[in-house]
Chain A
Amino acid sequence: MSVTAPMPPPDATADPGPAKAVKAPKGEAIGVRRGGWFVRITILVVVAIWLVPSLGVLITSFREGDAANTSGWWTVLGNPFSAEWTLDNYRTVLDAGGFQHAFLNSLAVAVPATVIPVTIAAFAAYAFSWMDFRGRHVLFVLVVGLMVVPLQMALIPILRLFVGGATLWGIPVFPDVNLNGTFLGVWLAHTGFGLPLATYLLRNYIGSLPSSIIESAKIDGADHFTIFWRLIVPLSVPALAAFGIFQFLWVWNDLLVAYVFLGGTSDTRVVTIALANLVGSRGQDWHLLTSAAFITMSLPLVVFFSLQRYFIRGLTAGSVKG
């Protein structure tokens, strides 16, 4: 920033116009103040760069297959009215067999796989923040460290547990309930894989709440459960919602975990699998791939936009005004 912000001319005027130098305290960079041109141009440039890839996908998703494969998507910008636009790609994707079924499957997977880890992680985060117990630091380090475990390495051992259970010196430590191919199995797997990040983020938020609140509640005679439920949860709604959105995006877009624990047959597959099946693995069906990508994105985007105000205060550490 310090590199790109130019120094003000010596005769900076008091004109607050956006394209001109503004009244500034000594050393103030031009345009950095509220609504200045430097701010707007920078924002515009970054947004433009970020939009270009998505724009390519969006345009391609409305083009005919042959056209999409034989000319660059940007060429239609030159002749937007004579170009070969079509809605067929979306129709093909949506009409594909069992798509609605897959959509419901995705919901049945994603909603519980979001709610369960958030709840469990919130309790754990509270304990890590405000309860004193042995192993607190070590266990927290362990949780953070587990974020790095590539879930691919976990799939085979977990499948074996799901299928055969586990025994330790003849004592069953994991029941032999065949969880493979069930929603419960997927929920638990997503919960397990999502917990480290959830606990980490929520602990950072809950741990940053001012201790005075908790102390005064304790003096009033509240126990930990009451403090958590009546005080911490309401205060943490932004963070819970923010992580919830996050986990939802992840689960919704996941292909691998669903494939392994639920399977890819027509009655159990989720949206990502249905779409992957539609376009195949070696096809060059740009037009279908792109419209499929937009359809999968649609629900997460709705979720994000409807809940985005929580991001204003969610997911942050050390940020609650005390």
Chain B
Amino acid sequence: MTQTVEEPETGTADLDARPGARVIALRVLAAIAVPVVAFVVLAWALDTLRDNSANRLFIAGLAITIGVVGVFVLFWAADQLVDWMPASFRESVRPYVFVGPALVLLTVFLIYPVANTVLVSFKDANSRNWIGLDNYRFVFTNASMLRSIRNTAGWIIIVPSVALVIGLVFATLADKLRRGEAVAKSLIFLPMAISFVGAAVTFRLIYSYRPEGFGSNIGLLNGVWMGLGNDPVAWLSRKPWNNLMLMGIMVWMQTGFAMVVLSAAIKAIPDEIIEAARIDGASEMQVFRRITIPSILPTIVVVTTYMVINALKVFDIVFVMGNAEPNGTEVIAERMIRWFFLSNHNGRGAAIAVVLFVAVIPVMVWNVRKFREQELIR
């Protein structure tokens, strides 16, 4: 770790130079070989842990060691290897050592399956014969599919904005509490720790419905509703409001994330700036609008991206809260699972998944813009 590098700027200088064909070939080779070697070594090291019958505590301990030390040593060794390379392209190979393992894993675990999904989307139910665009035709003509696209649009607009607004207001106000801030924030964060099975039970205890004669209602909403002198209501089949009821579950689960992250960003705003604004006579609202919001804008981008993507992928909430189609609560990912795993039509399931991939492109474009802006100002 004490070695020094002679030309720290070559990395940037190299890009503008026009290297010869052999150098390019070497680079490409190194770019591929280094991560592959790294991965194979990693796999070999971890392979020693394959014995399932060994003591779990021992495995966990060994795994932590390998996970922390092993992975790090691997990076270090690869970095050393790069140092032995000719100086002319050393610095242009080095970045691939840093991103290589991530790219290899992503290629295996996500890019390859995506490519596979795209291919399957042009095939029939059993992935046997090519059937062209039939599956896509289904996606954009089937009434239930169209409803799912409409509903998903609702999810990606409503859930992130509601969670963001509540999270932002809560984070801002909690910051002003004299005491109890940590407790208040923890309580909002609590639902993040609940497993999905737990969340499903939680909301069954809220939305559950039993008509007259089937025992007393154990759902809170009906408890309150009947307390007001009404008959019990099957909340989850009341179109279109049932969609909002389901979104409420996700808002409950995810606001904690938005709040915690935004709160951290708000605390990172230098006090001097805010004090200076206050001395200049700015109201709290003005401080919030003119200083807080612009300062935490990058964080808002991150939180929004995360929540939009999560809302796009939502499926289990809809799935356990009733049969989506007659209730009109279909969402894209739920249709995908249903067609792929329950109706056993791989082609349609895959085509619906491709729609999901495409739907995320605007979010990516937006992120790259922000990414570039950030690099200009830092």
Q: Are B95 and A132 in contact (CB under 8 A)?
A: yes
Q: Output the nearest chain A residue to B166 by Cβ-Cβ distance.
A: A46
Q: Does A320 contact B (CB under 8 A)?
A: yes
Q: Are B197 and A255 in contact (CB under 8 A)?
A: yes
The segment from B62-70, B136-144, B234-242, B322-330 that touches chain A is: B62-70
Q: Are A313 and B285 in contact (CB under 8 A)?
A: no
Number of inter-chain CB pairs below 8 Å: 422
Q: Output the nearest chain A residue to B218 by Cβ-Cβ distance.
A: A72
Q: In whole Å, how far is B167's beta carbon from the nearest beta carbon of chain A?
A: 10
Q: Does B174 contact A (CB under 8 A)?
A: yes
Q: Does A184 contact B (CB under 8 A)?
A: yes
Residue from A60, A70, A147 within 8 A of B205 (CB atoms): A60
Q: Are A50 and B252 in contact (CB under 8 A)?
A: yes
Complex alpha-carbon distance, A223 and B199, angstroms:
48
Complex alpha-carbon distance, A126 and B95, angstroms:
9
- Size category, B interface: 35 or more
B contact patch SS: helix
Q: Are A42 and B99 in contact (CB under 8 A)?
A: no
Q: Are B252 and A53 in contact (CB under 8 A)?
A: yes
Residue from A5, A143, A182 within 8 A of B52 (CB atoms): A182
Q: Does B213 contact A (CB under 8 A)?
A: no
Q: In whole Å, how far is B59's beta carbon from the nearest beta carbon of chain A?
A: 5
Q: In whole Å, how far is B176's beta carbon from the nearest beta carbon of chain A?
A: 5
Q: In whole Å, how far is A222's beta carbon from the nearest beta carbon of chain B?
A: 8
Q: Does B170 contact A (CB under 8 A)?
A: yes
| Interface 1/0 per residue, A37-48 and B, CB below 8 Å | 011101100110
| Interface 1/0 per residue, B284-309 and A, CB below 8 Å | 11101000000111110110011001
Residue from B5, B169, B178 within 8 A of A35 (CB atoms): B178
| Interface 1/0 per residue, B104-117 and A, CB below 8 Å | 01101111111011
Q: In whole Å, how far is B171's beta carbon from the nearest beta carbon of chain A?
A: 11
Q: Does A221 contact B (CB under 8 A)?
A: yes
Which chain A residues lie closer than 8 Å to B269 at the CB level? 319
Q: Are A35 and B176 in contact (CB under 8 A)?
A: yes
Which chain A residues lie closer than 8 Å to B284 at the CB level? 24, 28-29, 32-33
Q: Does A80 contact B (CB under 8 A)?
A: no
| Interface 1/0 per residue, A91-122 and B, CB below 8 Å | 00000000001001101100110011001110
A141-192 interface with B by 8 A CB criterion: 141-150, 152-154, 157-158, 161, 174-175, 177, 181-184, 187-189, 191-192
Q: Are A53 and B206 in contact (CB under 8 A)?
A: yes
Q: Are B305 and A144 in contact (CB under 8 A)?
A: yes
Q: Does B188 contact A (CB under 8 A)?
A: yes
Q: Does A131 contact B (CB under 8 A)?
A: yes
Q: In whole Å, how far is B203's beta carbon from the nearest beta carbon of chain A?
A: 7
Q: Are B283 and A107 in contact (CB under 8 A)?
A: no
Q: Does B278 contact A (CB under 8 A)?
A: yes
| Interface 1/0 per residue, A3-45 and B, CB below 8 Å | 0010000000000000000001111110011111011101100
Which A-B residue pairs are the 9 nearest by beta carbons? Answer: A192-B109, A293-B198, A319-B268, A104-B56, A127-B98, A154-B113, A133-B95, A115-B67, A318-B298
With A143-B106, A300-B193 given, name 5 new contacts (CB 8 A). A1-B285, A32-B173, A50-B252, A127-B98, A255-B196
Q: What are 6 inter-chain pairs, A to B, with CB distance below 8 A?
A: A57-B205, A112-B63, A152-B336, A229-B1, A249-B193, A316-B261
